[in-house]
Structure 1
Amino acid sequence: MKRRLGSAFALVAALLLGGARDPILVPEVSQHEVDLRQGFTGTELLLFGAILTPEGSRAAQDYDIVVVLKGPTQSIVLREKQKVAGIWINVDSTELRSAPSYYALASTRPIKDIVDDKTAAIYELGLKWLQLSPIGAIDPGEQTRFSDGLVDLNRRSGLYREEEGGVKVSEQVLYQARIWLPSQVPTGTYTAETYAVSNGRVVASASSQVEVRKLGFERATANFAQDYGFAYGMLAVLVSIGMGWLAGRLFALR
């Protein structure tokens, strides 16, 4: 009995000591606020930090680092068009509940070499593993087709990106990754998540936030459109009619 108790205590002590050796991450972002002004052409964010022991000293061990910058999630309706009798029409559609408006990943190595598929799916490490949450019953094959279409569309527009090898680690303690925000980046609160991985296991994680916001005339216009949608639509129609009338008058005077 005493031998069993001694073995149990030894096992608990080993687990506690093993957990104590797991590192902690101290993340930081070069800009916590990104202002979208007139003429904004995009900007680069520097995500950096340190890998430390719980005592605050250098971890002195090689860890893989994965950094994910994710924009606000949104519900989006995807429609598939096909050409029927020479006319493009909507033939199928699905709604996704939690599509990130922006997603960027940077890692020290390819994700497949860092974690297994199960871990990648749990932490959404990579575009392949995004949990888009379709609404309603949908065939798995159809879900994959629509999800792949959304990812491809956003990848080509620069809103989804992956940079395997994009994280650099110096002296086993300092890491950094550069992530580009394009000119059409959506506004909202972004979450920058950093993961330290050892032997396929996520041993530490930390997060920070980045606020992307519009300023000046663009912000006033966006707020007006959001708060007074009908009035904004009517105003847009009136402006279009006025511009058309003015163009016609100028053409008639020639």
Structure 2
Amino acid sequence: MFLSGQSEPILVPEVSESRIEVRQGFTGADLLLYGAIVDPAGPGATADYDIVVVLKGPTEPIRLREKERIAGIWMNAGDSDFRSAPSFFAVASSRPISEIVDPRTAAIYELGTNFIQLSPSGMIDPQVQARFARGLVDMRQRAGLYKQDAEGVRIKQGVLYQARIALPSNVTTGPYTAETFAIANGRVVASATAEIEVVKVGLEGQVVVAAQRWSPLYGLGAILLSLGMGWLAGRLFARL
């Protein structure tokens, strides 16, 4: 997708890998997102542009539970459901976001981990919802799944840009989108999107495909395998 006018720049994005294969022993991947800023006014006119790259993984529903210490015992004190939360979210920018756009613009384009658009399910107090949202972001930041780099984009000669975003080993497979924004004077003047696919291959990939295509048989096989392993373990312990 491009946002451009007669006098607005155009972004031409590229990614180092449009398909990332997750095999047994996968330790993560280093993704390079790069491209060019094409400005009708000429190369020198792009010197004042900032670049922000937002990489998002597949969305998924999630339930958060809050624990509280009651009578010396940790117990569930509350919970909240989100219909869609990105499994992975990373932002890289040429400068701190607060120096590039105002909070309203950052919220519209999700330019930062503080501006991730979550979809809560059911009726919940706004303050409680905000607390659970902060908890979700903090939890996934500690897992390396949400991250933000205020100096993660390099711009060369006002035309070429590049950003590196590391994908950890625990990433969710599925379609990823890399959105790149060119910003001038606090306004998004151009944007473009690149697609990335993270897939499981090998034996793990075959298991995933089997589970999706033949889910009833897959479930029955899993039950039979569990029963067989339990029976075998019982026989071994009986002999010992």
Q: TM-score over 0.5 for the alignment?
A: yes
- Matched ranges for 1:16-55 at <5 A: 20-54=6-40
8 A Cα contact 1:59 1:173, kept in partner: no
Aligned position for 2:109:
123
Deviations 1:51-95 (A, max 9, x none): 111377564422110001111222222222334455544332221
For 2:98 and 2:236, locate their aligned partners in 1 and report how far apart those are by CA, in whole Å.
Answer: 62
Aligned position for 1:4:
none
Tell me how large the CA RMSD over aligned residues is. 2.3
5+ residue gaps in structure 2?
none
1:184 aligned counterpart, secondary structure: coil
8 A Cα contact 1:68 1:105, kept in partner: yes
- Find the partner of 1:207 among 193, 202, 212: 193
Aligned position for 1:143:
129
Aligned position for 1:182:
168
What residue identity is the alignment partner of 1:38? Q
8 A Cα contact 1:51 1:58, kept in partner: no
8 A Cα contact 1:52 1:59, kept in partner: no
Deviations 1:10-32 (A, max 9, x none): xxxxxxxxx53321111100001
> What is the CA distance between 1:250 and its match in structure 2?
4.8
1:75 aligned counterpart, secondary structure: strand
Deviations 1:174-214 (A, max 9, x none): 10000011111111111100001111111111111001111
For 1:45 and 1:85, locate their aligned partners in 2 and report how far apart those are by CA, in whole Å.
Answer: 48
For 1:99 and 1:60, locate their aligned partners in 2 and report how far apart those are by CA, in whole Å.
Answer: 34
For 1:60 and 1:222, locate their aligned partners in 2 and report how far apart those are by CA, in whole Å.
Answer: 46
8 A Cα contact 1:65 1:196, kept in partner: yes
5+ residue gaps in structure 1?
1-18
Aligned position for 1:95:
81
Aligned position for 2:65:
79
Higher mean displacement: 214-223 or 153-162: 214-223
For 1:184 and 1:165, locate their aligned partners in 2 and report how far apart those are by CA, in whole Å.
Answer: 24
1:61 aligned counterpart, secondary structure: helix
1:142 aligned counterpart, secondary structure: helix
TM-score normalised by the chain length of structure 2: 0.89
> What is the CA distance between 1:33 and its match in structure 2?
0.6
What residue identity is the alignment partner of 2:64? L
**Percent identity for Structure 1 against Structure 2:** 59
TM-score normalised by the chain length of structure 1: 0.84
Higher mean displacement: 223-232 or 90-99: 223-232
* Paired residues, number: 237
- Find the partner of 1:158 among 144, 166, 170: 144
Aligned position for 2:205:
219
For 2:71 and 2:207, locate their aligned partners in 1 and report how far apart those are by CA, in whole Å.
Answer: 41
Higher mean displacement: 220-229 or 175-184: 220-229
